[in-house]
Amino acid sequence: MLYNLIDNSIECKPKEYIAGLEDRKGILEVQNLSAWYGSFLAIKHISMTIKSQAITAIIGPSGCGKSTLIRCLNRMHEVSHRGRVEGCIFLDGKNICAGDTDPVAIRRRIGMVFQKPTPFPTMSISDNVSAGLRLTRLWSQRKELQEVVEHSLRRAALWDEVKDKLGESGASLSGGQQQRLCIARALAVEPEIILLDEPCSALDPMATLKIEDLMRNLAENYTIVIVTHNMQQAARVSDMAAFLMMEEDKAGALVEYGPTSDLFTNPKDKRTEDYITGRFG
Amino acid sequence: MSERGYSRRKWSNRVVLSLSGIAAGLAIMVLVLILGYTLVRGASALNLDFFTQGARPVGVAGGGMRNEIIGTLILVGLGSLFALPVGLLAGIFLAEFASPRTAASVRFAADILAGVPSIVVGVFVYAVVVRPLLSYSAFAGGVALAIIMIPIVARTAEESLRLVPSSMREAALALGITRWRAVLSVIVPGALTGILTGIMLAVARIAGETAPLLFTALGSFWGFRGLLQPIGALPLQIYNYALSPYADWQRQAWAAAFLLIMLVLAISILVRRLGSRRRA
C-alpha cells in the first residue's frame, strides 16, 4: 500500500531560512508543491511560508485540497493510495520531500491529529499517550514514561478528567476527550510542529471550544497548522490564514495567504471575499 | 393490477417459500442425523479405557485409542507450528505491505492452494518428504497438514487485518512509528479476535483430515516414537477400524468419530463466542 514516487525534477532552494538563526526553528517553507492521487492532480504549485509559534489556518470549500496539503507537510500523503508529490517543503532549511529523507523521522518532528478521533482501541488511556515513545523505542524507563503521560495529558487539558482512569480503554472517553487524548499522544513525542486536520468537525460546540483554547496555549511553544471548513473557527484561533480553491482543472490552488485579520477584513482577491462573505462554499 | 395476476404471484411466492424452507430443513436434517447417529453409536462405546489404553491385537478384547489421540494432538501441533508463522506473515503481507497487484495474485494462489484436494497434498508430501527421508513420519504428516492450514490462516488473517480502519494505520504512522511496529503493536492487536478465529477454524479443519495422512503419517499401533517415525491419528484409525470385520474395532471407530465431531463442535462454539465478543 506504500507508494513512494517522489519526483524532485523541480529544483528548489530554501529562500527564507538563514542557517544559525534560532528563531527560524519550526518554520515550514512550502515551495511549488503539487500533489497527485494517481493521475489526479489534487493541489498545484502551492508556495507558502508557515510561521513558527503561530497558528496557520488552511480554509476553503470542500474538495479544494486542504487535507491533501496538510498531509503533504508530514509526508502522510504518500501513505494514501497512489499518492505522489512534486516540489519542496523545507523544515529548518532541509527539504523533507527529498527521496533520501526518512518519512518516519519527519513524522516524529511533525505530529498530526486527524478529523475523527483515533485512539488505539486495544490500549489504555495512558498507553495511548505513551504509544509514540514506546513504539519508537525512544523511551523505556517506566517511571519517566508515567511522567511524560501526565505532562502530555496536562498540556492537552485532559489530565483532570482522566487521572483516575488511566488504565481504562481510550475508546471509553467522549468524542471531545478522545480528540484531546490524540493531541496528548501527539505532544508526547515532543514534535516541533502539530498538524490538525479538521480536529473539531466531529465534535460538539463545547468540545470545540476546549480544543480551540488548547490550540491557543500550544501556539506559545509549537507551530500549528489547522485545516478547517469553519471560517469562524479560523477567524477565532489563527494568526495566519491560507485560502485554497479548486480551479477549473479541479486542482486546488492557493488563492490568498496572509495574516488572518487582513484576509478576513480586507481580502485582496475577489474569490476570497466571495467565500468569506458566504457567497459560495 | 389484475386480480388474477396477483393471485398467481401469491401462489408462486408460497411455492418458492416452501421449497426453500424444505431445502433448509434438509440441510439441517443431515447435520442432525450425523450428530445423532454418531452420538448413539459412539457415546456408548466411549469409556475410560478408550482414552487410557493403546490398541490391542485382533481377538484381544478392550483397548483404546490413547496413542491415536496423542498422535492427533502431535500432528495438529506440528502442522500449526509449521503453518502459523508462514500463514500469519503471509496474511500480514497481503493486508499491509503488498501492492494491490501483488496482493491479488498471492490471494489467488492462496485460494487455489486452499482448493487443492487434500489427497493431492498427501501425495505431494509423500514425494518431497517421505521418499527422501525413506520413512513415513509424524514430521511428514505435520507438513501435509500445514500445507492445508496455511491458506486458511493467511486469508482469515488478511480479512481481519483489513477490517481494522485505515485511520488506525495513519494515526500510528503519524506518530513517527515505523510500518512494522505499527502493524505489530496497533493493527494486529486490533484484529486479534479475527485472527484467532481463523486459526481455530484451521485447527478444526486439519484435526479431521485423513487423506493427507494416509501416505505421510501412515498410522501406527504404537505410541509416539519420534518425529521421524510413523504415527497414528484419530481419523486414520477410524478409517482402519471402520473397515475391519471386528465388532469391537468398529465400536471404537464410532467412539473416535464421536470424539472428533465433539472436538470440531467445541472449536466452532468457541469461535462463535469469540465472534460475538468482537461485535460487542
By CB atoms closer than 10 A (0-12, 13-18, 19+), residue B86 is middle
Residues B88, B180, single domain; the answer is: yes
What CATH number did the domain enclosing B173 receive? 1.10.3720.10
Residues B27, B114, single domain; the answer is: no
Contacts of B169 in chain A (CB under 8 A): 79
What one-letter code names the amino acid at B185? S
Supply the DSSP string of A88-136, one letter for each residue: EEEETTEETTSTTS-HHHHHHHEEEE-SS----TTSBHHHHHHHHHHHT
Contacts of B186 in chain A (CB under 8 A): 120, 122, 131, 135
Q: Which residues contact A199 (CB under 8 A, 6 or more apart)?
A: A113, A114, A115, A179, A183, A211, A226
The shortest CB-CB distance from B177 to any of A121, A123, A136 is to: A136
Under 8 Å between Cβ of A244 and A64? yes
Q: For B185, which residue in chain A has the nearest alpha carbon? A: A135
- DSSP 3-state of A197: strand
- Shortest distance between the Cα of B179 and any Cα of chain A, in A, equals 9
**Residue B222 — pLDDT band, cuts 50, 70, 90?**
confident
- Shortest distance between the Cα of B271 and any Cα of chain A, in A, equals 20
- Segments of chain A assigned E as strands: 28-37, 40-50, 55-59, 83-91, 94-95, 110-113, 193-197, 223-227, 240-246, 252-259
Residues B103, B34, single domain; the answer is: no
Under 8 Å between Cβ of A78 and A161? no
Under 8 Å between Cβ of A179 and A203? yes
User: What is the model's pLDDT at position A59?
Assistant: 94
A31 bridge partner residues: A88
CA B180 to chain centre: 29
User: What is the model's pLDDT at position A23?
Assistant: 52
**Residue B274 — pLDDT band, cuts 50, 70, 90?**
confident
Please name the residues between 122 and 161 in chain A that touch chain B, using a CB distance below 8 Å.
122-123, 131-132, 135-136
| Stretch A64-78: mean pLDDT | 93
Under 8 Å between Cβ of A220 and A214? no
Which domains are seen in chain A, by residue range?
22-276 (3.40.50.300)
Asked if the C-beta of A74 comes within 8 angstroms of chain B's C-beta atoms, the answer is yes
Under 8 Å between Cβ of A27 and A52? yes
Residues B196, B251, single domain; the answer is: yes
Contacts of A132 in chain B (CB under 8 A): 175-177
Under 8 Å between Cβ of A211 and A182? no
Residues B108, B27, single domain; the answer is: no
- DSSP 3-state of B175: coil
Residues B206, B131, single domain; the answer is: yes
Residues B88, B20, single domain; the answer is: no
Residues B100, B146, single domain; the answer is: yes
CA B278 to chain centre: 21
Q: Cell 534560532 maps to which residue?
A: A22
The model's pLDDT over A211-260, given as tens digits with 9 standing for 90+, comes to: 999 999 999 889 999 999 888 899 999 999 999 999 888 899 999 999 99
Domain range for B115: 51-279
What was the ipTM of the complex prediction?
0.85
User: What is the model's pLDDT at position A8?
Assistant: 45
User: What is the model's pLDDT at position A118?
Assistant: 93
pTM: 0.83
Under 8 Å between Cβ of A183 and A189? no
User: What is the model's pLDDT at position A140?
Assistant: 65
Contact between A120 and B167 using a beta-carbon 8 Å cutoff: no
- Angle formed by the axes of helices B66-92 and B138-163, to 10°? 40
Residues B36, B93, single domain; the answer is: no
Domain count within chain B: 2
Contact between A135 and B172 using a beta-carbon 8 Å cutoff: yes
Residue A67 CA neighbour count, 13 Å, CB half: 15
Contacts of A107 in chain B (CB under 8 A): 173-176
User: What is the model's pLDDT at position A15?
Assistant: 54
Cα–Cα dist B246/B253, whole Å: 11
User: Does residue B280 register a pLDDT over 60?
Assistant: no
Residues B135, B181, single domain; the answer is: yes
Residues B70, B206, single domain; the answer is: yes
Among A93-102, A181-190, B65-74, the least confident range: A93-102
Residues B127, B264, single domain; the answer is: yes
- Shortest distance between the Cα of A186 and any Cα of chain B, in A, equals 6
The model's pLDDT over A111-161, given as tens digits with 9 standing for 90+, comes to: 999 999 999 999 999 999 999 988 887 666 777 888 999 999 998 989 999
- Shortest distance between the Cα of A58 and any Cα of chain B, in A, equals 19
Contact between B173 and A186 using a beta-carbon 8 Å cutoff: no
